[in-house]
Amino acid sequence: MNILMMVTWYTPQNYKELEAGGFHYEQSMDLKKHCNVALYYPFDPDLEQEETAGEEWGLYTYRSRFIPGKMLQNRKQMRKTFARIVEEFKPDIIHAHVAGGAGYHATRLAAKFHLPVVITEHNPIEISGVDRMGLSHYLCGQAYKKSNANICVSEDSKNKLSKIYPKYPFEVIYNGIIVPDYHTGEKLYYKDGYLNIVIVAVLYDLEIKGMKYLLQAVRQLKEAGQKVYLHHIGGGEYLPHFENMASELEIDDVCTFHGRCERSKLYEIVNEMDFFVSASLMECSGVSVQEAMLLGKPVLGTNSGGVDSLVPKEAGHIVQKGSADALKEGILYMKEHLDEFDRKWIEKYAFESFEISHISQKYLQLYNRVLGRKEG
């Protein structure tokens, strides 16, 4: 079986390490244990040539150059590269990620070659805009209509899309997570005498990750005499903004911004913490939350959609999004009930629900179903 992963975002070719689209890559590499997988990124604005093909980080990858504002030229290049892929790789299924990007184009391109398409939706509806009548609603609707299977990465996403597009079926397969690999030993990051909490968020926006509300909550807790220490992991163009905000709120003595970390260091930091926080205003899923639970960490989350549908009551506590007061009360709740969470149960739940080889098996079953093949 030959599976072509067609993605809406991915890491530029000249980067030394994967950044954007890491979960596309990881799922592809795990699926490679069972079938042939190649990846196609048709929206590369940094590509100097019209197209490239070759091994990248151990995965055969095709790219097409994307020129902003040149719709007809981009579509022509996409058709050319896709025809090359069909001739060389001979895909049995096109697995597109995000209906409004790769998904829409995949259904158009695959139709010419009579190839089935599976779409996995990663965008919250608040970002995709499908909840509002307009171009995005139409394009995504056309993609969902023409695809052979539509996958959501959380129950919340499925429920919302099913209401918006009641004629099209949606099902849930979570993002696959690699079991964390990290070194245990002396605590290097934990601040003694404090309740240590951690958030993992790439700060590409001022609002979406809810960082300002979390910093305000920490300020309130400090003023109330509560000893809470916040760790933030992640980069993003707005990281300096929130570092300055912590200073202005006079909580920089109880905050550490670790910046972008290699995964092993990220896991080491999270593993030392008392619990994990997700303060997002909107999430389709929540990969960092899944990773934290794989480490057995309880989660304080917001009703952002994806997160609250991932975290059962046995694994954490959910509060109102967009509220510093709610986060403050949530942190106090977690502090009071911390010993009641069974870390082994949380780890087992996360492993059985999200571990990447389990997710690969679900996708293999789906591929066989789409192709009309019997499993095994």
How open is the CA angle 129-311-347, to the nearest 5 degrees? Answer: 135
The verdict on 24 and 172 lying in the same domain is yes
Identify the weakest region by mean pLDDT among 89-98, 305-314, 358-367: 305-314
Whether 242 and 260 map to the same domain: the answer is yes
Higher pLDDT, 201 or 18: 201
Is-contact 130 137, C-beta < 8 A?
yes
**For residue 148, pLDDT beyond 60:** yes
- 301 vs 188 pLDDT, higher one: 301
Identify whether the C-beta of residue 137 lies closer than 8 Å to the C-beta of residue 160.
no
Instruction: Verify that 147 and 218 share a domain, yes or no.
Output: no
- Can you give the pLDDT at residue 37? 98
Higher pLDDT: 182 or 287? It is: 287
pLDDT at 61 over 50: yes
225: left (phi over 0), alpha (psi -120 to 50) or beta: left
Q: Which of 320, 333, 199 is nearest to 258 (CA)?
A: 199
- The confidence band for 38, taking pLDDT boundaries of 50, 70 and 90, is very high
**Domain annotation covers residue 181:** no
**How many domains does one find in the chain?**
2
> Mind listing the pLDDT tens digit for each residue in 158-171?
999 999 999 999 99
- Average pLDDT for 6-31: 84
With H, G, I as helix, E, B as strand and everything else as coil, classify residue 3: strand
Q: What is the extent of the structural domain holding 338?
A: 195-354
pLDDT tens digit sequence for 215-272: 999 999 999 999 999 999 999 899 999 999 999 999 999 999 999 988 889 999 999 9
How many Å is the Cα radius of gyration of the chain?
Answer: 21
Average pLDDT over residues 280-295: 89
Residues 365, 330 share a domain: no
Q: Looking at the structure, tell me whether residues 34 and 137 fall in a common domain.
A: yes
Q: Crossing angle for the helix pair 343-354 and 287-294, nearest 10 degrees? A: 130
Instruction: Output the domain CATH number for residue 126.
Output: 3.40.50.2000
Same domain, 22 and 130: yes
Q: 133 pLDDT exceeds 80?
A: no
**pLDDT at position 181:** 73
How many helical (H) and strand (E) elements, i.e. helices and strands, does the chain have?
Answer: 14, 14
Amino acid at 100: G
